[in-house]
Amino acid sequence: MSHYLALDLGAESGRAILGSLSEGKLTLEELHRFSNQPVRLPDGLYWDAFRLFHEIREGLRIAGRHRGLTLSGIGVDTWGVDFGLLDSRGELLANPRHYRDARNNGMMERTFAVTPRAEVFGHTGLQFMQFNSLFQLNAIRLSGSPALDAASRLLFMPDLLSYWLSGVQKNELTISSTSQFWNPAEARWATELFDSLSLPTRLLGEVVRPGTKLGGLLDEIRDTSGLGETPVFATAGHDTASAVAAVPAAGPFSGDAPWCYISSGTWSLMGVELDAPVINARTLELNYTNEIGVDGKVRFLKNIAGLWLVQECRRAWALAGTEYTYNELTVMASGAPPFAAIIDPDAFLEPGSMPERIAAFCARTGQTAPQSAGSFVRTCLESLALRYRQVLESLEEVTSRRIETIHIVGGGSKNSLLNRFVAEATGRPVVAGPGEATAIGNVLVQAIGAGEVDGLEGLRAIVRNSFELERFEAKGAAPEWDRAYEQYLKIVSARG
């Protein structure tokens, strides 16, 4: 039996998860969990990067000193786009900013005033979101921050944490492809964009494929953790890339039964897995993204607000003095009246006062606002399902294939109510699970790098052999969902 440690950092929490692989089956065990909350300072919103690394080291100590494990690998995955800047000595110049930092507001428009939108998309094929790394870098430049002049290397968050573990500075491919300065068609940095925006290309380092061995743990970390010469792998560093690798589909999208995935959590990432990027006028119009996955696959997908809406509602109610568990909210939503209101999930990307903002959206669109916590949550979940239907239709248009099955993976796959809504809204069967897809993908990509697993097909065979899945079927014609979808389209169209 071999053991790998997945260090999986999401938008709300981080975990050190032990993956044990034996005879084609994988088991997982959570060794350490810690919160991941941004820190608001007078000048902006930051990640608490040093505390996160402290918690990572605690996970290593538990594995080595407490459990006495011998690990075959360690790998870090995180959310996309955010980064740290290092000087020539390898020292971090400033704590990494959070992607929801207000400094990014309006930065797309200021960037497009120099480099047109179509030109940026032509080089990168990436969905436009104001927090993409390109816009964050331009924000640093326009702010006059001295960090940019002093920087010699850019490391995305999993690259930075892996560097602190191993001493090796590399840019892993899947996380690099979230930046909006990676060219997926030519497999290189889009240096033309750096030149046009007067950004220093010296920041761009060597890019390595997921599964690449970076090196061993640094001596001091070996001593304190008791883990010895454990290899550190550049796993699929973007958490969505790890999660999509763990989708338990039995064949490629181009096979007899085309499928799509939804990596469901704080964000919903919905798309298909292709052999080559799709970069043209229509995908620009639809604002799709071409990110890189395991084995050189392209994750052709759309970023959707996801369960962020429910998380922010829960946080607002807690601040007001009422604590709900997610399970309690789901039960209340199940009993609430259907289609009390319909919202556009992507209109609520910024934090703060979510129930009030949803109520204001309803007022602007001529709807009665939800009247209870359960009704607010049901509105969020139903609206997400409608958004998924819209994205499903555009995926089918672009690929000219009918998608037969929707795979939902990640923490959101445990929400049976949302899974049922998706099946009813789309009329397609939903296969839910595994819930720990990101950690699974992280571990098994390491195992590919170690030579223990044979590529993406072998990885997915292990997933199917190791974890229980749940299937949700549409119950037939759903005129109530059709009517709701018509209303949803009118609301989205009115927003422009």
Strands 212-216 and 259-264: unpaired
Residue 124 belongs to some domain of the structure: yes
User: What pLDDT score does 490 carry?
Assistant: 95
**pLDDT digit string (tens) for 132-155?**
999 999 999 999 999 999 999 999
Q: 77 pLDDT exceeds 70?
A: yes
**pLDDT digit string (tens) for 185-233?**
999 999 999 999 999 999 999 999 999 999 999 999 999 999 999 999 9
What band does 12 get if pLDDT is binned at 50, 70 and 90? confident
d(CA 73, CA 214): 10
Q: 496 pLDDT exceeds 80?
A: no
Residue 444 belongs to some domain of the structure: no
Are 152 and 259 in a shared domain?
no
Nearest-Å Rg of the Cα atoms of the chain is: 22
Number of structural domains the chain divides into: 2
Rounded to 5 degrees, φ, ψ at 229 are: -80, 60
**Unique residue bearing structure tokens 């009390």:** 340
Are 234 and 252 in a shared domain?
no
**Would you mind telling me the total number of residues written for the chain in this entry?**
496
Are 377 and 276 in a shared domain?
yes
Are 164 and 282 in a shared domain?
no
**pLDDT digit string (tens) for 78-87?**
999 999 999 9
- Among residues 221, 238, 255, the one where a domain terminates is 238
User: What pLDDT score does 254 carry?
Assistant: 80
| Tokens (6 digits) for 407 | 């795979």
Are 251 and 179 in a shared domain?
no
This prediction has a pTM of: 0.92
Are 274 and 182 in a shared domain?
no
Which residue is catalytic, options 77, 82, 239, 344? 239
Give the number of other CB atoms < 10 A from CB of residue 362.
19
Q: 495 pLDDT exceeds 80?
A: no
| Tokens (6 digits) for 420 | 């049922």
Are 291 and 261 in a shared domain?
yes
User: What pLDDT score does 313 carry?
Assistant: 97
Are 361 and 234 in a shared domain?
no
Quick check: is 77 catalytic? no
- Among residues 216, 238, 260, the one where a domain terminates is 238
Burial class for 322, CB neighbours closer than 10 Å (0-12, 13-18, 19+): exposed
Residue 85 belongs to some domain of the structure: yes
- Which has the closest alpha carbon to 95: 84, 108, 111? 84
Domain containing 170 equals: 2-238
Residue 112 belongs to some domain of the structure: yes
User: What pLDDT score does 350 carry?
Assistant: 81
**pLDDT digit string (tens) for 276-308?**
999 999 999 999 999 999 999 999 999 999 999
What band does 253 get if pLDDT is binned at 50, 70 and 90? confident
Residue 438 belongs to some domain of the structure: no
Mean pLDDT for all residues in the chain: 96
What band does 175 get if pLDDT is binned at 50, 70 and 90? very high
Residue 448 belongs to some domain of the structure: no
Are 207 and 287 in a shared domain?
no
Are 128 and 190 in a shared domain?
yes
Residue 275 belongs to some domain of the structure: yes
- Among residues 218, 238, 258, the one where a domain terminates is 238
Q: 434 pLDDT exceeds 80?
A: yes
Are 29 and 107 in a shared domain?
yes
**pLDDT digit string (tens) for 335-375?**
999 999 999 999 998 888 999 999 999 999 999 999 999 99
Burial class for 77, CB neighbours closer than 10 Å (0-12, 13-18, 19+): buried
d(CA 124, CA 157): 20
Residue 354 belongs to some domain of the structure: yes
Q: What is the CATH number of the domain that holds 150?
A: 3.30.420.40
Are 345 and 416 in a shared domain?
yes
Burial class for 24, CB neighbours closer than 10 Å (0-12, 13-18, 19+): exposed
**pLDDT digit string (tens) for 322-339?**
999 999 999 999 999 999
| Chain center to CA of 481 | 28
